Chains A and B, each alone.
Chain A
């Protein structure tokens, strides 16, 4: 581990994620983080994420490895996960080139980190991999539920075989570990607790918190006796 920050791509020069990449992330998140459907759900689906807020929050961690590392360190500090396993993982999220190549800063809107799901999700839907169902109707509040079909589960399993795209499945597993079964509102609160996220002005890209997280990581290495 070095004090020097790893070479990173300048924020301004960073390419935007494409619709295809977005669709891949949503597919993986539904497969990894989705809950099993219940008897009350429509037939033909296997897994479900029951609010867009939760799905957006999950996607935020997936595309911002420094925030994900911070949450892992928090869990280590809380004794919820094994330090010897997860501190090196957190270190990898901060310092390895791979996560940095997949860092796609997210704009912040009123409901937190947000990027419109429509285009990406319609792709999944056109191939019969997932479907969105709306609960409730105006003027009552409504929420969208995101269902994964059996075909979707199979497609996610196919992705695990791809040398490049399989990375998302592994990363989504960490996101799932961090997010647990918290609902979207709670996940948003947790992300707000991470100062940089909260301080980011509306519409601006949420900035990196890597330096602060790296400092906490060093403290945890020292506190737990795990070698970097």
Chain B
């Protein structure tokens, strides 16, 4: 049971019926929130020795570049335009034992290594080098000794091409021997890790990691250490050098008891909100995608159903279809065969008719011949056509009485003569018979068909009967043909219809398959319950939000009095540092500050640069002084002030501020390192032991 857990449970109990306290505690624990307060107790960090050595690589004749460059660039270094000049390797060794209070490092010219001394100390304490890369490579070994709350430690390492390798030591209280190794490092990363865990523990600092948008941004000892560093050109924010951390640093340095918890709750709330919104977005995005997919699949099902509905329902009678097709083929063949028969029958009919015509012609010719014979026979021959001798009366009488031809005197056929046919008896029998028959026909025709000789009539009748019969056959066949043609057409139509029906059945089968596939696709996409953050997630959110409200309130209650004291201290220090007419300062919980000078109130960001650097240093000192005085706070009591004199602050002002710092530092038991080009000022204000200064063109190391 924690204080925070109980308070949060109490706040939520009304809204969340049956809420278990253990559940609340669990949520807080899961979020990495400690449920109790831990008031900060200052632990003093003092550097007692800084020693380093190595080899400088300098360009010859390059001693005239006192252009007042950036504070970090105060060591002679090759520039691109001098890259091809002859270089000289210069070994160096620096060893200094700073004291409590204000320590000064100075060189009358820039780029002589004064800032590097401060940076080597920071490298050793943080494990992360702020040195310029080429200068870092010059350093071959370093030994920085320090104390925390009186306990002595040392960081000793060698460096090859800038890569550190060494140990963190706890020194023997007597100062003899190496003491105990607390940590080992072989590169920058392990160096920083060792120092981080060591410093957090010994300085009683908390991890101040914050939730940055979508991830937990780790902030720990390097962030605190950064806040110990003051550069004349980095005056924002008021506390530290990272705006997003200034509030947290203020809370921590001020030593407010709930400060660590507030940081944990803030990170947990941000993280929870982020994860919830991410989950919701993913669910929404996933839901919309699935919705679109379902709509497409449903549309396909609809289309498939429509396609199926359009097809007429038909039974698949394949055997029936084949039977109909077979029947169509049979009737077609029968029709064709019948057509051939008709052609043959028509030929037979044509032949029969031709035979009738031939018989008619034959009959006609015979008839004409007989008539012509009768015509001539009725005449009396008058002369021989051969010799023209006249036919006498005697000849005519002999023909009648003696039956001999009146022209040639041949004997005549008596029987033929009875039939009015003149033919010689010597003529062959068949010729005589032919002549008699044709004569009888002619006479019968002449007697207008009263003859009873049926032979000719029979032949003609038979032929005409043939024609009639052939005509009947053709007629019957044509009737059958008409029937067969109808049957063929009907069968063909039936077969075509059946085949079409079969095709429809096949199309229906395909359409049904298509529909089944579409339905299968849709089923796969059936709406799955959206995994929205459930009630449990809501509870976590509610617990965290409630915890934030609680700890914010507690922190404010705890911090406000401290901030008041610090504000008063800042105003006092500011005036000591030379800010004229400074009436009042109000440090806010969010690390902002309002400054009232000459009746006018303005924000920290709005005041001049010279005033800002005074206020920023004053704030740090105030935090340390109040902490020391009240016994509440977490500031390590160490400050690095690099090149404070610039266009922002004149030598006189710096002198005044340094003087004030000396007094304050001693009183507050803090340690300051000031690097400046105003060497004479350092030697004037500080005791000689507190100063390492290079005169003229000399190097600090």
Residues from chain A with a CB closer than 8 A to the CB of B383 are: 125-126, 128
Interface assignment of A13: CB less than 8 Å from any CB of chain B: yes
With A164-B367, A165-B368, A165-B371 known to touch, is A122 a contact of B360 (CB < 8 Å)?
no
Name the A residues within 8 Å of B361 (CB-CB).
9, 13-15, 100-101
Q: Which of A101, A126, A128 has the most CB of B within 10 A?
A: A126
Q: Are B358 and A9 in contact (CB under 8 A)?
A: yes
B385 within 8 A of A: yes
**Are the C-beta atoms of B357 and A122 separated by less than 8 Å?**
no
User: B216 contacts the other chain (Cβ, under 8 Å)?
Assistant: no
Could you mark each residue 489-522 of chain B with 1 if its beta carbon is under 8 Å from any beta carbon of chain A, else 0?
A: 0000000000000000000000000000000000
A9 touches which one: B354, B382, B384, B386 (CB < 8 A)?
Answer: B354
Q: A23-B376, A127-B381, A127-B382 are in contact. Are A7 and B353 (CB under 8 A)?
A: yes
Nearest A residue to B358 by beta-carbon distance? A13
- Tell me the nearest residue of chain B to A125, going by C-beta: B385
Compute how far the CA of A20 lies from the CA of B380 in the bound complex, rounded to whole angstroms. Answer: 16
Q: Mark B380-411, 1 if CB is under 8 A from A, else 0.
A: 11111110000000000000000000010000
A13 to B369: give the CA distance in the assembly, Å: 17
The DSSP consensus for interface residues of chain B is helix
Q: When the two chains form their complex, are residues A122 and B372 in contact, meaning their CB atoms are under 8 A apart?
A: no
Interface centre among A10, A121, A127 (most CB of B within 10 A): A127
**Do residues B385 and A122 form an inter-chain contact, with CB atoms below 8 A?**
yes
Tell me whether A20 and B367 are in contact (CB under 8 A): no
Q: Which residues of B contact A20 (CB under 8 A)?
A: 368-369, 372-373, 375-376
List residues of A (10-40) whose CB comes within 8 Å of B's CBs.
10, 13-18, 20-21, 23-24
Given contacts A7-B354, A9-B361, A128-B383, A164 and B376 within 8 Å (CB-CB) = no
Q: Most chain-A Cβ atoms within 10 A of its Cβ — which of B353, B365, B381, B384?
A: B365
Q: Is B362's CB within 8 Å of the partner chain A?
A: yes
**How far is the CB of B384 from the nearest CB of chain A, in Å?**
7
Interface size class of A (residues with CB under 8 A): 20 to 34
Partner of B375, one of A7, A16, A128, A159: A159
B357 contacts across to A, CB distance below 8 A = 7-9
Annotate B287-328 by CB proximity to A: 1 below 8 A, 0 otherwise: 000000000000000000000000000000000000000000
Partner of A126, one of B358, B364, B381: B381
Instruction: Given A9-B354, A101-B360, A155-B379, verify A162-B365 contact (CB < 8 Å).
Output: no
Among A101, A102, A121, max chain B CB count under 10 A is at A101
Q: Which positions 125-167 of chain A face chain B at CB distance < 8 Å?
A: 125-129, 155, 158-159, 162, 164-165
- Bound CA span A17–B547, Å: 146
Cβ of A121 to closest chain B Cβ, rounded Å: 8
Q: List the A side residues contacting B375 at CB < 8 Å.
A: 20, 24, 155, 158-159, 162, 165
Which residue of B is nearest A165, CB measured? B371
- CB-CB under 8 A from A123, the residues of chain B are 376, 385
**Given A162-B371, A165-B368, A10–B354 Cβ distance below 8 Å?**
yes
Q: Mark B342-367, 1 if CB is under 8 A from A, else 0.
A: 00000000000111011011101111
Bound CA–CA A221/B382 (angstroms): 51
A97–B375 Cα distance when bound, in Å, is: 24
Residues in B neighbouring A101, C-beta threshold 8 A: 360-361, 364-365
Q: Which residues of B contact A21 (CB under 8 A)?
A: 365, 368-369, 372
Using A20-B372, A20-B373, A165-B368 as known contacts, list a sample of 7 further A-B pairs with CB atoms less than 8 Å apart, ordered by residue number in A.
Answer: A9-B360, A18-B369, A101-B365, A127-B380, A158-B375, A162-B371, A164-B371
* In the A-B complex, the 7 residue pairs with the closest CB atoms: A122-B385, A20-B372, A128-B382, A18-B369, A125-B385, A13-B358, A9-B361
Name A residues whose Cβ lies closer than 8 Å to a Cβ of B: 7-10, 13-18, 20-21, 23-24, 97, 100-102, 121-123, 125-129, 155, 158-159, 162, 164-165
Question: 12 A-B contacts, Cβ less than 8 Å apart?
Answer: A7-B354, A9-B358, A14-B358, A15-B362, A18-B365, A97-B360, A122-B386, A125-B383, A126-B384, A126-B385, A164-B371, A165-B368
